């Protein structure tokens, strides 16, 4: 099992290999293609994350004590951003998710290279992930 901080470290390293932001975008787009997709039946307005210029749907469910996230977006770069977040936070215990810091986002340089609206969307996504963790934590207990 990979801990959140280990995956975060891997991601920071992975992104440091690229020389310019064009390549990083290309990588993000590739990551988006492997995003664990949300089931059609969960693609409802209730599951849309507000605060994104493109549409983002996210769903979470519990598998024993781990949270599994699935998601989708109508924009491909946004899909890449969610894929990064899901790689970090999916298949983790709600407590781990709640305790995790998100410094890796600044270390990758994600925020500063996204447009302000996309950066806001990113913040909304993390908030939503933590909300799910909080909700499911009480279920486990």
Partner 1 sequence: MDIEKIRKDFPILSRKIKGNDLIYFDNAATSQTPIQVINKISEYYSKYNSNIHRGVHFLSQEATSEYELVREKIKNHFNIAKKKEVIFTSGTTHGINLIASGYSNILQKGDEIIVSNLEHHSNIVPLQMLAEKTSSILKVIPMNLSGDLDLKAYKKLLNNKTKLVFVNHVSNSLGTINPIKEIIKEAHIHDAKVLIDGAQSAPHFKTDLIDLNADFYVTSAHKLCGPTGIGFLYGKEVLLNELPPYQGGGEMISEVTFEKTSYADLPHKFEAGTPNISGVIAFGAALDYLNGIGLKEIENYENELLKYATRKLKEVKGLRIFGEAKNKISVISFNIESIHPYDLGSILDKMGIAVRTGQHCAQPVMDFYQIPGTVRVSFSFYNTKKEIDFLILAINKAIKMLS
Give the residue numbers annotated as catalytic, written as ranges. 52
Among 12, 29, 37, 62, binds partner 1 (CB under 8 A): 29
Nearest-approach distance from CB 11 to partner 1, in angstroms? 20
By CB under 8 A, residue 78 contacts partner 1: yes
With respect to partner 1, which residue has the nearer C-beta, 55 or 137?
55
Nearest-approach distance from CB 114 to partner 1, in angstroms? 8
Question: Can you spell out the DSSP letters for 69-83?
Answer: EEEEESSHHHHHHHH
By CB under 8 A, residue 54 contacts partner 1: yes
Q: Find out whether 29 and 77 touch, Cβ atoms under 8 Å.
A: yes
């Amino acid at each position: 099992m990979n801990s959140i901080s280990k995956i975060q470290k891997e991601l920071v390293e992975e992104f440091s290999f690229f020389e310019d932001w064009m390549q990083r975008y290309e990588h993000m787009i590739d990551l988006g293609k492997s995003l664990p997709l949300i089931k059609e039946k969960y693609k409802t307005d209730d599951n849309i994350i507000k605060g994104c210029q493109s549409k983002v749907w996210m769903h979470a469910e519990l598998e024993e004590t781990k949270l599994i996230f699935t998601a989708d977006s109508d924009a491909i770069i946004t899909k890449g951003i969610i894929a990064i977040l899901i790689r970090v936070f999916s298949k983790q215990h709600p407590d781990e998710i709640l305790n995790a810091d998100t410094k890796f986002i600044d270390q990758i340089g994600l925020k500063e290279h996204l447009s302000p609206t996309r950066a806001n969307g990113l913040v909304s996504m993390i908030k939503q992930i933590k909300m799910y963790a909080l909700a499911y934590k009480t279920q486990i207990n």
